[in-house]
């Protein structure tokens, strides 16, 4: 064999072996699934999933989305990751009956490819997270009539400009996007396709990949052509970190963690040295506050909750005949209702959680109070006060003052009547280290 020919074949095989992993990954489609409200957990899951797909040189990332909306900060983290991704991202509202409302609409507009399954919808993108009660935008208000609250006007204008910029970047219907923000309108999948809000309507993931095969996608200053017919589909499920964030990011769980933390620290301060309640309470409180920091918290509601807890605990130490306890329950319930001030789906505290927690706190408070009252009614069994009424026996003949044994201790005693040695006595009073006694015949 010609040496030059052999060398060229060797070089060709070497190049094939080097490029084999890249060519294999280039036909890989990563699928990330988000269901439920957009929050810190879903943002962390999607951002890290995109980073992993970029590192593995995947051809396409598909985000299967079904969300009622979510937090603005988490939504923007996801959109920033999509816009900066060198791998094309297709957001697919799926399965049938799913929706991409509020934050989901922004994510759909930011994606390189927007797709929906039949019988799905998007829209209702008016921001409500920061609006106080009574100042929420009215869906029936015309687009050119801004809300009356200055803060709300800023929020709506900012959101409208943001989604319009995303629409112009991807060449989608910017006018309808702005209406979705200002008027909270929605669209089904078929109409969204006609109005050029989305790019594809696909019945399932396989149908989506078939329709995307051969489609050109612009990534910055370059354009790539998708080859998804024979692509290997890899589903990436949330890991333990994302699942943990999803658990503590739930408003109900965060609420319970915060209460456990407060009660644990109170118990530790009341009983120094227990350690376990303080350690567990500190961990729970930090986790609860971490989850609460990304939610629209009403500080007035939080203050009322803390006041209610303090009043219920004070019932155990102050004889208020239930006034402090009842006031504490009322403050706690009102504060719990006010705690999360938002209309975002999935970010409120249900009554089915608030009422049992309030009842449990009240029962615990009254239980502690009843135990304290019982303890007050019990006779004193230790200390100086317990000596009054105690019995003993004289150790010598006592005319006015002498020695006696009381509680197996030698005490100097005084008596108004003479007492022979061995007489039974009872303590009437104590004056420093001298006891006043009297004869005792027993009962």
> Exposed, middle or buried by CB within 10 Å (0-12, 13-18, 19+), for 83?
middle
The encoded tokens of residue 236 equal 């990436």
State the catalytic residue, choosing from 42, 74, 102, 415. 102
Nearest-angstrom CA–CA distance, 33 and 50 = 12
> Is the bond leading into 95 cis (omega within 30 degrees of zero)?
yes
In the numeric block, the tokens 């007050």 are attached to 376
Half-sphere exposure of 244 (CA within 13 A, CB side): 6
> Is 367 within 8 Å of 386 (Cβ atoms)?
no
State the catalytic residue, choosing from 154, 218, 232, 416. 154
Nearest-angstrom CA–CA distance, 416 and 439 = 10
Q: CB neighbours of 139 closer than 8 A, spacing ≥ 6? A: 126, 183, 184, 185
Half-sphere exposure of 50 (CA within 13 A, CB side): 22
> Is 72 within 8 Å of 103 (Cβ atoms)?
yes
Nearest to 87 by CA among 50, 34, 32: 50
| DSSP 3-state of 391 | strand
> Is 73 within 8 Å of 295 (Cβ atoms)?
no
| DSSP 3-state of 318 | coil
Chain centre to alpha carbon of residue 128: 19
b/e map of 65-74 (b: 16 or more CB within 10 Å)?
A: bbbbbbbbeb
**Residue 154: active-site member:** yes
**Residue 298: active-site member:** no
Catalytically active residues, by annotation: 102, 154
């Amino acid at each position: 064999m010609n040496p030059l020919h052999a060398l060229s074949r060797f070089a060709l095989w070497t190049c094939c072996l080097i490029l084999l992993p890249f060519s294999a990954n280039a036909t890989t489609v990563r699928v990330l699934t988000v269901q439920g409200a957009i929050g810190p957990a879903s943002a962390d899951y999607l951002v890290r999933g995109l980073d992993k797909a970029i590192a593995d040189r995947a051809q396409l990332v598909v985000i299967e989305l079904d969300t009622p909306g979510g937090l603005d900060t988490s939504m923007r983290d996801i959109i920033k990751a999509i816009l900066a991704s060198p791998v094309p991202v297709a957001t697919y509202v799926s399965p049938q009956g799913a929706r991409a409302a509020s934050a989901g609409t922004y994510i759909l507009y930011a994606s390189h490819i927007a797709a929906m399954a039949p019988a799905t919808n998007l829209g209702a993108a008016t921001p409500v997270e920061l609006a106080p009660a009574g100042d929420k935008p009215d869906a029936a208000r015309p687009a050119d009539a801004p809300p009356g609250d200055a803060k709300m006007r800023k929020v709506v204008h900012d959101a409208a400009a943001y989604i319009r910029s995303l629409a112009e970047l991807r060449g989608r219907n910017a006018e309808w996007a702005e209406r979705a923000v200002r008027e909270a309108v929605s669209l089904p999948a078929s109409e969204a396709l006609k109005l050029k809000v989305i790019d594809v309507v696909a019945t399932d993931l396989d149908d989506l990949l078939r329709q995307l095969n051969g489609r050109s996608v612009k990534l910055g200053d370059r354009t790539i052509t998708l080859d998804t017919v024979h692509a290997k589909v890899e589903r990436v499920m949330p890991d333990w970190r994302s699942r943990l964030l999803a658990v503590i990011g739930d408003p109900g769980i965060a609420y319970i963690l915060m209460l456990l933390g407060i009660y644990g620290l109170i118990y530790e301060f009341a009983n120094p040295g227990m350690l376990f309640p303080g350690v567990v309470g500190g961990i729970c409180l930090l986790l609860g506050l971490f989850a609460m920091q990304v939610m629209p918290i009403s500080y007035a509601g939080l203050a009322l909750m803390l006041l209610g807890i303090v009043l219920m605990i004070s019932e155990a130490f102050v004889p208020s005949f239930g006034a402090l306890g009842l006031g504490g329950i009322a403050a706690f319930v009102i504060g719990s209702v006010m705690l999360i001030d938002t209309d975002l789906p999935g970010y409120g505290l249900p009554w089915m959680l608030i009422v049992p927690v309030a009842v449990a706190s009240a029962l615990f408070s009254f239980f502690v109070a009843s135990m304290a009252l019982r303890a007050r009614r019990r006779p004193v069994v230790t200390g100086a006060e317990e000596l009054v009424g105690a019995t003993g026996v004289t150790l010598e003949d006592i005319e006015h003052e002498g020695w006696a044994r009381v509680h197996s201790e030698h005490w100097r005693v005084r008596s108004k009547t003479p007492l022979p040695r061995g007489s039974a006595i009872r303590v009437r009073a104590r004056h420093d280290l001298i006891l006043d006694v009297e004869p005792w015949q027993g009962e």
